[in-house]
Amino acid sequence: MPELPVLDHDAVLAAVSATEAVERVREGLLRFHAGEWAMPPKVYLESPPFGDFRAMPARGSGLALVKWVTSFPGNRDRGLPTVTGVICLSDASNGEPLMLLDARSVTALRTGAVAVVAARALAPQGARTVGIIGCGLHGAWTARCMAQAGYGPGVCFDVDRGVAEALAEELSWSVGSRREALGCEVVSCVTPGSQVVVDAGDLRPGMHLNMLGADGPGKAEASIAAVLSCALFCDEWEQTSHGGELTGAVAAGLITRERVTELGAVLAGQASGRPGPAAVTLFDSTGLAIQDLAVAAAALEAWRGGAVQAQTVTL
Ligand SMILES: NC(=O)c1ccc[n+]([C@@H]2O[C@H](COP(=O)([O-])OP(=O)(O)OC[C@H]3O[C@@H](n4cnc5c(N)ncnc54)[C@H](O)[C@@H]3O)[C@@H](O)[C@H]2O)c1
């Protein structure tokens, strides 16, 4: 067996910039929408009371991958990351493993990137100000990707004020209350999803919401009343109806497939985006393996092009 390159956390971030991640994720969503990339729904393996594991496969552009990744909300108190794991990237023509990658950095990059893709597609033209509710790992990467894409200034809110302060200082943004963050034009919610942070009374005409934190069964960051007041978009219907921000409303029979548009269809010009300047748009990101594939493929190319060094293992 030949030596297998391994990209650790820092090597992934050195290989793929936030700007490139945004372009790659956008391209991945388009290819998936066109049926060129394949992705079965992710499989959840509960690990009560700690959290869950997810197995996330995808195939496209001659590559295939599986991401074995976690969401363990209590890990933060134990000094461990909420999200961690490994990606195995393989050649789709012969099954040969091509690279192992740190899943934490790929997940952070592609999650931040999709927030930019959704904001560009759905927020009113000229929207710039950013509210971040939940400034942990993925909130921070969402903010970094938004800032790299030219959005800002932003207002950072977190129940842990120190975390919000650190992010605000890094980006020269400000710390504010939940209400002040919700006063921005593009608001991204990236909390663990155990508590509602957006209610119907928080909605303002023209705002765009990226709901990123509720990515599994039983999680929600918006109340059902808030969800029902919005024009609804998602990354992928199967996932969003079973393990995302819209799941509660779907389970209550208040939302059906016809009410929700996949972002890929909007990007491809095959579905309408924002219904009008006064609408409130809500994008539910559950996190797709094709996003991981898009970023992992970019990392593989960067390594092959000599832009980044890898460790190696022989299996
Ligand atoms: N949609 C996706 O693709 C995707 C990808 C990765 C992670 N996630 C999800 O995002 C969530 C956050 O993940 P993370 O790795 O950033 O976790 P994290 O623990 O690093 O950060 C979460 C932050 O939210 C804050 N918070 C908690 N409750 C809050 C509240 N009510 N109001 C404001 N802030 C609050 C915490 O203090 C913490 O700073 C998790 O549920 C995770 O599963 C989604």
Q: Quick one: 83 and 121 in the same domain? A: no
Are both 31 and 167 inside the same structural domain?
no
Using DSSP, state whether 287 is helix, strand or coil: coil
Domain CATH number, residue 257: 3.40.50.720
The CATH number for 83's domain is: 3.30.1780.10
Q: Which domain holds residue 26?
A: 4-106+290-313
Smallest CA separation from ligand 1 atom 2, residue: 287
Query: What dihedral do alpha carbons 174, 177, 180, 182 form, nearest 10°?
Result: 110
In contact, 128 and 185? CB cutoff 8 Å: yes
Say if residues 234 and 240 touch (Cβ distance below 8 Å): yes
| Tokens matching residue 272 | 């309408």
- Among 262, 260, 9, 254, CA closest to 118: 262
The response to whether residue 285 sits with its C-beta less than 6 Å from ligand 1 reads: yes
Please state the pTM of the whole predicted model.
Answer: 0.96
Claim to verify: residue 275 and residue 209 sit in the same structural domain: yes
Are 229 and 306 within one domain?
no
Q: Are residues 256 and 294 in the same domain?
A: no
Instruction: Judge if 121 and 57 occupy the same domain.
Output: no
pLDDT above 80 (res 1): no
Residues 160 and 257 in one domain: yes
pLDDT of residue 217: 79
The neighbouring-strand residues paired with 58 are 65
Both 131 and 173 in one domain: the answer is yes
- Whether residues 143 and 238 share a domain: the answer is yes
Q: Is 103 in the pocket of ligand 1 (CB under 6 A)?
A: no
- Considering the domain architecture, whether residues 201 and 229 belong to the same structural domain is answered as yes
Does residue 281 have its Cβ closer than 6 Å to ligand 1?
no
Task: Evaluate if residue 82 carries a pLDDT over 90.
Answer: no
Q: How many domains does the chain have?
A: 2
Ligand 1 center–CA 194 separation, angstroms: 10
State the Cα torsion 211-285-42-58 to the nearest 10°: -160
Model confidence over 16-33: pLDDT tens digits? Answer: 999 999 999 999 999 999
The alpha carbon of 63 and the centre of ligand 1 are apart by a number of angstroms equal to 30
223 within ligand 1 shell (Cβ under 6 A) = no
* Confidence band for 41, pLDDT divided at 50, 70 and 90: confident
Taking the C-alpha atoms of residue 271 and residue 232, their distance in angstroms, rounded to an integer, is 12
Answer yes or no: 219 catalytic.
no
Verify that 134 and 235 share a domain, yes or no: yes
- Distance from the first to the final alpha carbon of the chain: 6
Helix (H) or strand (E) holding 121: helix 103-122
Residue located nearest, by CA, to atom 3 of ligand 1: 287
Task: Show the tokens assigned to 133.
Answer: 């509710």
248 lines ligand 1 (CB under 6 A): no
The active-site residue, picked from 24, 33, 54, 67, is: 67
Are residue 164 and residue 263 in the same domain, yes or no?
Answer: yes
pLDDT digits (tens, 9 = 90+) for 112-155: 999 999 999 999 999 999 999 999 999 999 999 999 999 999 99
